[in-house]
Structures are given as structure tokens and as C-alpha cells.
Structure 1
């Protein structure tokens, strides 16, 4: 009956239908009830836990009205004592669990049942204030400080946030309205943020309506993000899906995102603050991603990239009704670098741009950026692309006296909605192309070899070899 009711709520809208189809398939796949009893539940994770408990054991009330902020804090505080004894798992049972911000602990798993909904409080007193991020120097919405994320952790190791595609609802409309009215005195909270940590897994969840960015690992390493369904209205402000930020050895796969901003944005700090902090994002693999974002990118590299971005590998990507595919965003004053980027296998439909590299993305943290800090953009590789009904094939805009070099584009077929428009607009770039239609600009010299392909690494990153364990726990 729950599945039938879900189906009845789906409209003919492509985006809504797309999300509903995913939810229906997952609901069918995960029905494991036997006479109303759920037991011996299995789930994949980087680490299994010796101890488990329910949020109800710590006073949680899943009625959608009672605040569970203290229950989450009390539960996790108590379970943290098991960190040296096999770790602990906190089960959030079926129900609607209203809560403000709470912090995770090490050697810990937060598990959401299939019919679980965690609902973010709109009471600002339940959101602690944090200092600005050191690689940003200020808040993004307001200069001083920021609200803690709904689910937050720092200086942790071995953390899992997962479930049977239970839902986290950020109730973002409250925050979006304040943003549009210019009423924010602190930067909006993110949905999930984990910083200065390692061995992180975020998987098999449905995330909707974040106040700002959805998933933000920062200053962290050894990260697996998989099986997320992320959705926000396509006109919601800054609702990026997944933003690995100054992170190393990161694997993002099998995610479906509808967003008001970039579906995935790889970042590493803002202007002089990112340069000083100096922590790059590197060794990142993104695969089997589906994105809908009419005003932004499927994958953005930047615009905050001042600590550097290197060795990003993206493949098997699908974007529909999205402004651009894999876009680089930078500017004078950013410094840093974006290099050794490898993209293979994109299926695109109804895009504004297939290829877009921007050297004039001029949003700055403040006026103290160094105008002599020029970004190094080099070694950018795209291959095996099919794009239909696109407005423009490419806008490749380097910086005068700082050309973007080593651009390679091969095996590309694009059909355009209006062939009378200039399809390739290239300035201050250097590179090569092969087997590309329509014919690229002269700055991308054409290779004559029939089987020339832009490079894509054969060797695997360490994070790709990490195998998840089959873990289990008993639950009624």
C-alpha cells in the first residue's frame, strides 16, 4: 500500500517522475518485513559494529513534533564509549524524527530505516554557531560565522551514515526565504558535514531540501559516497549535491541528483584563504552519476579551487536539462590549479553547454585577494561524449596572459538546437581534438590519427579497491 500511495503522488513532470521511479524501485527492493518484525538486517559498510541501540532507548520520539536534538546528542554521547570496543550503531527507527544539529563520533554508524524521516528543525536555537572555515576566511552567506550542519563531525575516524534509503529532510524553504530577503546573519547550515576526518562512508539515503549544500566532506580523506538520491527544487539557492572540499582519496558513485546548483562541486578553498591553507582536493573518482540542474553544472571544479584540484576521474555520467556538463570555474585572484582532469563517457540531453571552462568567475571572498594570483589550468581531458539538443557545444574562456593548456577533446557527437549559433567560442586556450562534431575551434588543433583518444588512467586509485563488508544487526 505504501508503494501504491507513493506512485499516486508522482506527477508527469520529468524531474518528479525521475525521483519517484528511483524511490519506487528502492522501496520494492528493500521490503524485508516478516509479520511486522525486522530482524537480522544486513547492510554494506566499511566497518561493522559490535554494539547497537535504538534512538528510542535514549528518549527519542518519532511523532514529527517532539524535538529529538537532545536524544541524538545523548545517544551518540553514550555510544561513543564503545569506540574502543568494536564501535556502535545507532538505529533511527521508522517514524518522523524532528531534530536540530547533532555531532557524530568515531567508530560509529548512524542507520536510517526505510520508513525513517529525519526532519531538520527550523528553530535556530537548535543550531550551534561555528567559526568560519579557515580555507574560506568568511561565511558564504554572511561574513561572520556559520550554523553547524544538521549532521556534523570533526576530527573523527571510521564514520558511517547509511540506511535502507531512509530520508533526511532539511526543510530548506525557511532558510531559502531568509537568504532571498537578505536576513541571514550567519551562513546557512549544510545537511551533512564531516571535517578533519578519515574513513568516511555516506550511502543509501534519500536527502531532500537542504538549507544549502547537502553533503560536504572537508579536510578529510578515504571517503566513500554512494547510492544517494538527492533532490531540491531547481530554483533553490546553493543546494549543491555533493561537495568534496580539500579532500583526498574520494569515491562518489551511483548517485542521482536534482539540484538548484551544481550536482557535484569539487572545491579547495577561496582566494587568499585557500592559497594560505594549501590543502588540495585530489585523487577523486566520480562514476555513474545522473544529474538534473537547469542553472548549474553536473560536475563543477571550483569556483573555490585556490588550494588546488588534481587527479579527478569521472566516467559514465548522465545529465538532462542541465546547464553544463563538467565545468571548470576560476578567475584572476584564485591562484591554485586545476590539472589532470579525466572525463570519459557522458550522455547529455538538453544542455546549454557541452564544454564550459570559465576564467572570469569573479566571486571573491573580499577585496584582499591577490590580482597577481593566476590559476594554472592544464591537462583537461574529455572523451566519448554523446550530446543531443544542446544550445552550444563549447565555451572555453581562458585568461589573457594565462592560457589554459593541455585541453584534449575526442570522440564527441553533438546535435544542436540551433546550428545558426556559433558552436565553439574559444579564447586563451591551447589543446587538441579528434573525431569531434561539430568541428572544434582552431585553438584545438585536430589530430589526424583515426583512433586517437584523450587519456584516461588505467591504474586504480586506492579508494577504488576498498571493499565494503556485509554487516548485520537485529532490530524489531
Structure 2
């Protein structure tokens, strides 16, 4: 199911099993969508069962030049998938993905539970602007459990264009016996984490102060974390 340049969409009580992305949120490619300027926003996803054997169960991008924001997803069951939750973009894309709140997720037999990727280099044609850097910001993932997971998280931002405010809370992934020893891989990202197992990378350890921040939707007001 692909949601592209749409607003005020509700997906509930559904079961989707495909080889490609099960639910994909997009907003167009490169300069054409920047000019068109129709974002994907106000999306609510709840009580869904997702399987994506070769891609992601819940995917954002990589076409996101028209902007993606104000996304709420909860009570999601993901199984037998290559990736659980994936955010994808590339330099030259422009636009942003921000204000995403995903909660109450159960995963089983997923290769990569959480992915942030910046190397989806396809473009609609040769007329794209290298100065148009995408923004990934204010992403909250909370209350997730997974069994038979190979990698808890692979998070790769863009050199000189960090993916920011990635907030993880109450995540518990049981790593498969055959998985590599390191469960998290991070570069060019920043954020905060609490009650996450296995322990995430240092880039997701915001300094511990009374003003540590998670983001709540739809107002994006700061929520202090004790």
C-alpha cells in the first residue's frame, strides 16, 4: 500500500503481506515535488499486521521531496520481514520527514528492526539540485518488542546533514543467535534513548539532563524525561 502526497488518511484493522514495502509513505521526487509542494501529512495507522519479505513493513521515503509530517502509527505487528520500520532518503532530495510517532510494535523474525538510510541514490532524471539536502527530524519510536532480530538498528545519516532528534523509549529486541555481535550501527545521527535493549550506539545518548527531550505530536511540544 503506497500513500503518496496525501493528507488525512486512516489505515486500521488491516493485514498486508507482500514482497515489497507493506505500507509506504512518500511525497514525490526531487525538484518536481519540491515545486508541486503537496506533503503527506495527518496519517494514522493502527492495528495492522504487516509482512514484507524483501523490503520494509512500514517505510518512509525515499521519495519525500514534498515533505512528510504528522504521522501516528500504533499497535503494529510485523513478522517475517527484511526490515521492520525504515526511513530512506538521499542527498539532492530536499524535503523533510519530521513529526513521526510510532508506538506499541511487536516484531518477529525481522532482519533489521529499525533502519535510517541515506543512500537511495535514484532520481527521476538528471535535473536535480545537489544543494537540496533532506531533513530527518523529530522521530519517536517507543514501546517495541522483537524476537529473532538480526540487527536492532542501522542508522546512517548524511555527512554534514545529520538526522536529528531520533528518540527511542522502551525498546526490547531479542537478537538471533546467528546475528553479528554488534546489534546497532550509527553514523551522522543524533538523538536520545532510554530503556533500550540491546544498548544503542553512543550517537543516541543525548547528555543526561533534566531537559532531555522526546517529541509529542501533533504540537511537537517538548516532553521532559526524568
TM-score, scaled relative to structure 2: 0.91
> What residue is the counterpart of 1:423 in the other structure?
183
1:344 to 78, 103, 107: 103
Over the aligned positions, Cα root-mean-square deviation in angstroms equals 1.8
2:144, 2:44 → 1: CA distance? 18
Residue 284 (structure 1) aligned with residue 46 (structure 2): no
Q: Which aligned pairs between 1:79-90 and structure 2 lie closer than 5 A? A: none
Pick the structure with greater CA Rg.
Answer: 1
**Contact 1:268 1:304 (8 Å CA) reproduced:** yes
Residue 246 (structure 1) aligned with residue 5 (structure 2): yes
> What residue is the counterpart of 2:202 in the other structure?
442
**Contact 1:286 1:313 (8 Å CA) reproduced:** yes
1:399, 1:294 → 2: CA distance? 27
- 1:257-284 Cα offsets, whole Å, 9 max, x none, are 0112111111111111111111100111
TM-fit CA distance, 1:429: 0.2
2:89, 2:126 → 1: CA distance? 16
Give the aligned length. 216
1:262, 1:280 → 2: CA distance? 20
What SS does the corresponding residue of 1:279 show, helix, strand or coil?
Answer: coil
**Contact 1:434 1:447 (8 Å CA) reproduced:** no
> What residue is the counterpart of 1:138 in the other structure?
none
- 1:101-160 Cα offsets, whole Å, 9 max, x none, are xxxxxxxxxxxxxxxxxxxxxxxxxxxxxxxxxxxxxxxxxxxxxxxxxxxxxxxxxxxx
1:298 to 25, 49, 57: 57
Instruction: Say which structure, 1 or 2, has more relative contact order (CA 8 Å, 6+ apart).
Output: 2
TM-fit CA distance, 1:344: 0.4
Distance 1:387-1:447 versus aligned 2 partners, 3 A rule: farther
Distance 1:269-1:354 versus aligned 2 partners, 3 A rule: same
> What residue is the counterpart of 1:164 in the other structure?
none
Distance 1:265-1:321 versus aligned 2 partners, 3 A rule: same
> What residue is the counterpart of 1:403 in the other structure?
162
Residue 255 (structure 1) aligned with residue 14 (structure 2): yes
2:90, 2:142 → 1: CA distance? 25
What SS does the corresponding residue of 2:110 show, helix, strand or coil?
Answer: coil
**Contact 2:93 2:134 (8 Å CA) reproduced:** yes
Q: Which aligned pairs between 1:59-458 and structure 2 lie closer than 5 A? A: 242-417=1-176, 418=178, 420-445=180-205, 454-457=214-217
What SS does the corresponding residue of 1:304 show, helix, strand or coil?
Answer: coil
TM-fit CA distance, 1:381: 0.6
2:153, 2:16 → 1: CA distance? 24
Structure 1 unaligned blocks of 5 or more:
1-241, 460-476
**Contact 1:340 1:380 (8 Å CA) reproduced:** yes
1:268, 1:458 → 2: CA distance? 19
Structure 2 unaligned blocks of 5 or more:
220-226
**Contact 1:405 1:430 (8 Å CA) reproduced:** yes
> What residue is the counterpart of 1:204 in the other structure?
none
Higher helix fraction (1 or 2)? 1
